[in-house]
Chain A
Amino acid sequence: MAGPGNIPPSASDTGYRSLIGPLLLPTWAVIGIFMVLPVLLMAVYSFLTKEFRGGVIWDFTLAAYDQFFVTRGLFGDEPAQIEWTYINIFWRSIWQAGLATILCLLIGFPTAWFIATRPAQTRGLWLFLITIPYWVNLLIRTVSLKFLIRDNGPLNESLMAIGLIDGPLPLVNTNLAVQLGLFYSYLPFMVLPIYAAVERYNFALSEAAADLYASRWATLREIVLPVVKPGIIAGCILVFVPSLGAFLAPDLLGGAKTFMIGSLIDEQFKGSQGDWPFGAAVAMILMTLVLIVLLLYARAQTRGATR
């Protein structure tokens, strides 16, 4: 079959041009049918009427969104007001995810910097050490964390044994435990993009700043941070987005007071108490929120690229 007529038209084409359709068909079919279609269907469901015992009736209504945003009193006969219950759950989730992101940044940046400034031979090993926990089952990591910080767990026992505290620190079922759990779940997502940015950083810039009598920290603030900002923003998004919809950390480490979006959605699909249209609506609102964050990120990136 080979011959002058068969010479590929470009260097990147080695005869696969005519196969684009068949090669991509499985991807389009699988992700299209089992992800795109379900998400579209979920959007439709959020406008349907709920059936008791779970499931839906195919009558279109705005009831689910109305339930989310509007209250008309206990018996539904009062003037419409803003319903704060669910907005507050979202607000708390944003707050928790935000604090976890800041915590990840405060520890993740120095770690990424430290690793990126190691000699090339040991850098891979450090990175490997940071990434291993990510590949360990998230459920197991969360359970392990709960085991460690529970009231009579090893952390409290050792702190009491050395006399640092008199009684156990009540960590489990607090906001702090949830933030710690989210931090623990997604820390590698912060380290890796910042590491990639610092690795490309031209240290001659720092040297120039030092020659001009800038202090170490002034150099960090004025030179390093602006240059590696894309990596920092990418890390923050990679931590913030999954934290926002997290289920395991708030469910296992938190209590009723730390109820987050993930648990709210989960509740709507469990047993006969469920409300599928409302669950679909909450999921739609969460997805919209995440898409806004991602779009802002994409816009900031393209603006940064054209500058």
Chain B
Amino acid sequence: MKGVRYYPGFLPLTILCLVVLYAPLAVVAVYSFNGSASITEWGGFSLRWYTDVFTGPEAVRFGQAAWNSLTIALIAATTATVIATAAALAMLRAGPFRGRQASFALINLPLMVPEIVIAVATLIFFSTIGLTTGYLTILLAHITFCIPFAYLPIAARLEGVEGTYEQAARDLYATRAQAFRLILLPLLMPGVISGWLLAFIISLDDFIITNFVKGAGMETLPTAIFGSVKQGIKPNIMAISTLMLLVSVLFVTAAYLINRKGRQAPATPGKTT
């Protein structure tokens, strides 16, 4: 007799779950190497659509969109990480204080309000204050919704680092800045890096909010792809999709490995996290 942990059919359902999650991505990745101009017929293995992405008629448009996406993600993730790190220090290293609950709710607000509602509200706000929608408005919106995603891994890591290290440093006449820079920050680094990576991916991923606040003529990769797909799925879209898929997988794998390495290093002796 099998143990109480076993339920017949749960393994097949898990495999079904993984197949459903991966099959569409795998199919698109395979078809991105299709030599035929038709998306239905298989015309042999070819890299022509990858060449098309970089040199074809839409190369300039997608190149500009990719540049916008990358720079926005870079600036938004970095700004959000700095803001989130500061917030985490106050939330977890300053003891109880008035407004802590409210601050916690505020940090998590972007996760609780539906994206489409944030999109509408942000558009209305920029329009009212008379800020022309474009690169800057996308950037401001991205910084805002990236904060909770950067905060979560940083706070999780900070919770696992006990205050005794900094206290020891302070006892040995380190200034608060030195104790932070030389002791806490290195210990906190795995959390900071995974927070940054997740914020970066989230910014790169966003479509709904960007679509509302981007203004005419301004495109990020998702809005450019959406515009293309509205006229039908073309093979070059599949090549772009596969490239973006690769970037996402690389980033998440990096975040996962850094996190695991961080967990193996004893941030808190005698206590396993």
Contacts and interface: CB of A to CB of B under 8 A. Distances in A.
B87 interface: yes
B233 A287 contact: no
A151 B255 CA distance: 38
A279 interface: yes
A102 B123 CA distance: 34
A296 interface: no
Contacts of B237: 143
Nearest to A287: B117
Given A110-B14, A203-B4, A290 B114 contact: yes
B93 A14 contact: yes
A8 B163 contact: yes
Contact of A242 (B14, B103, B114): B114
B114 A35 contact: no
| Interface magnitude class on chain A | 35 or more
A117 B3 CA distance: 11
Nearest to B112: A294
B116 A108 contact: no
Contacts of A30: 83, 143-144, 147
A82 interface: no
A147 B27 contact: yes
Contacts of B260: 124
Given A110-B9, A207-B4, A15 B252 contact: no
B71 interface: no
B229 A143 contact: yes
B86 to A, nearest CB: 4
A136 B106 contact: no
Contact of A141 (B25, B127, B163, B173): B25
Given A110-B9, A137-B205, A144 B28 contact: yes
Interface in B34-62: 39-40
A252 to B, nearest CB: 7
Contacts of B170: 2, 6, 8, 14-15
Contact of A144 (B167, B241, B251): B241
B270 interface: no
Contacts of B265: none
B251 A13 contact: no
Nearest to B142: A34
| Interface magnitude class on chain B | 35 or more
User: Main SS of the interface on chain B?
Assistant: helix
Interface in A89-126: 107-108, 110-111, 113-115, 117, 124, 126
A245 interface: yes
Nearest to A14: B166
Contacts of A280: 120, 124
Interface string A231-264: 0000000000110110110001000000001100
Counting chain A CB atoms within 10 Å of each CB, the highest count among B84, B109, B113, B244 belongs to B113
B176 interface: yes
B25 A248 contact: no
Contacts of A157: 40
B212 interface: yes
Contacts of A137: 204-205, 222, 241, 244-245, 248
A140 B94 contact: no
B4 A16 contact: no
B140 interface: yes
Interface string B18-34: 10111111011001000
Interface in A3-42: 6, 8-17, 19-20, 22-24, 26-28, 30-32, 34-39, 41-42
B7 A113 contact: yes
Contacts of B229: 139, 143, 252
Counting chain A CB atoms within 10 Å of each CB, the highest count among B5, B11, B97 belongs to B5
Interface stretch (A59-67, A72-80, A127-135): A127-135
Contact of B17 (A28, A111, A153, A154): A111
A242 B115 CA distance: 8
A26 B86 contact: yes
A154 B272 CA distance: 47
Contact of A110 (B13, B23, B128): B13
Interface of B: 4-7, 9-11, 13-14, 16-18, 20-25, 27-28, 31, 39-40, 82-84, 86-87, 89-95, 97, 99, 103, 106-107, 109-110, 112-118, 120-125, 127-128, 140-141, 143-145, 147, 162-164, 166-167, 170-176, 179, 184, 198, 201, 204-205, 207-208, 212, 222, 225-226, 229, 233, 237-238, 241, 244-245, 248-249, 251-252, 256, 260
Interface of A: 1-2, 6, 8-17, 19-20, 22-24, 26-28, 30-32, 34-39, 41-42, 45, 55, 107-108, 110-111, 113-115, 117, 124, 126, 128-133, 135-141, 143-148, 152-154, 157, 183-184, 187, 191, 203, 206-207, 209-210, 216, 219-220, 241-242, 244-245, 247-248, 252, 261-262, 265-266, 269, 276, 279-280, 283, 286-287, 290, 294
6 contacts: A8-B163, A13-B93, A14-B167, A16-B89, A135-B248, A187-B21
